[in-house]
Amino acid sequence: MVDMQKMDGELTSLDMRTLRFLQLLLRTSSVTRTAMHLGISQPAASRILARVRDLIGDPVLIRTQSGYKLKDHALSLNEPVDAALSAIADVFRPSAFDSAQSHYCYRIASTDYGVAAVLGPMMEVIAATAPALRFEVSPLVPQSFGDLEKGAIDLLLYADLDARNDLLIQKLFDETYEILFRKGHPLEEHAAPQRAFTPQDVAPYRLIEFSFPGTTSLKPDTIMREDGNASNAVFQQPFFTTLPFLVGQTDAVAAVPKRLAKQVQKLTSLCSAPFQPSCGFPYYLVRHERSRYNPAINWLKVRALEITKFD
């Protein structure tokens, strides 16, 4: 029966130099040449050899008429010793990520805007270069920040984030707003690329507002209101991509991020016009400090930066 306590003690006292000595000794069958290769003295090599013999319970070398030879048991150790050193090297080798072969599943919390503005544009590139990667997107809610801290999600896409010491925050881009309205709306005749609408321009109409998640609760985006007046804010909801259904048949208007407005216009007959640039916001990829050296997360961060900077 194996004495596990004795084995643990022996492994604790084992060092890399002893393993490397044994590997070279198995290749050279010479203590002298092994010592020279390691740059150690003959007495030091003899002490390591004694340690090896004690650990494996075998003399390793025997004297013959033609010189020292490896014993049969020692010869059988070539592969396991090489494998042990390779495994140890793997522990300290920087992690690699092969996107073309990886089946990594990214767990991301985001609003529908984050999916449309960041993940959507990435899908064509990922399909061509990393076809086995998977994405699980959950709604961005106040609880998402706790999930990020606990490791239940890998990252989140968010705007206007207050920095925290345990978060790694990568700015992806700066975003501005556009006012979204139906074709034939009274605002259409006043829309011009060189002129940005103001809260005074949209005040006569019903306002559709987006409710964004904070760290503790949902908060309405009130940028279209003038002097905090909420009398014409008739609809608040946590979805951007449903806004075309809400403004398409009425005179209601909505302020949406420019990237989303341009995508909506490609798919619908809705119109948009710039809203005052001072109401823009930065957009971030946020992850926890624990993922700083995660090669899969770092790979995705670089792709997000590459793709979104051109939009």
What's the per-residue H, E or C state across 196-231?
CECHHHHCCCCEEEEEEECCCCEEECCCCCCCCCCC
What's the token pair of residue 299?
């790979």
The DSSP secondary structure of 1-57, one letter per residue, reads ---HHHHHHHHHT--HHHHHHHHHHHHH--HHHHHHHHT--HHHHHHHHHHHHHHHT
**Could you tell me which CATH class the domain 105-173+283-308 is placed in?**
alpha beta
Same fold, 4-92 and 177-279: no
Show me where the domains of the chain are located. Answer: 4-92, 105-173+283-308, 177-279
**Residue 8: Cβ within 10 Å count:** 10
Q: Is the pLDDT of residue 307 over 80?
A: yes
Residue-wise pLDDT for 132-164, tens only, equals 999 999 999 889 989 999 999 999 999 876 656
Per CATH, the number for 4-92 is 1.10.10.10
Residue 88: band (very low, low, confident or very high) from pLDDT cuts 50, 70, 90: confident
Q: Quick one: 177-279 is in which CATH superfamily? A: Periplasmic binding protein-like II (3.40.190.10)
The Cα–Cα gap between 195 and 216 comes to 37
Read off the pLDDT band of 4 (50, 70, 90).
very low
Least Cα distance to 88 among 19, 37, 137, 152 occurs for 19
What is the token pair recorded at 258? 């420019």
Rounded to 5°, the CA angle 153-158-160 comes to: 140
Which pLDDT belongs to residue 11? 58
Closest CA to 112 of 152, 141, 148, 142: 141
Tell me, what's the pLDDT at 162?
64
pLDDT (tens digit per residue) in 229-273: 777 778 888 888 888 888 988 899 999 999 999 888 888 899 999
Tens of pLDDT, residues 27-49 = 999 999 999 999 999 999 999 99
The residues near 266 (Cβ < 8 Å, ≥ 6 apart) are none
The pLDDT of residue 55: 86
Q: What are phi and psi of 300, to 5 degrees?
A: -65, -40
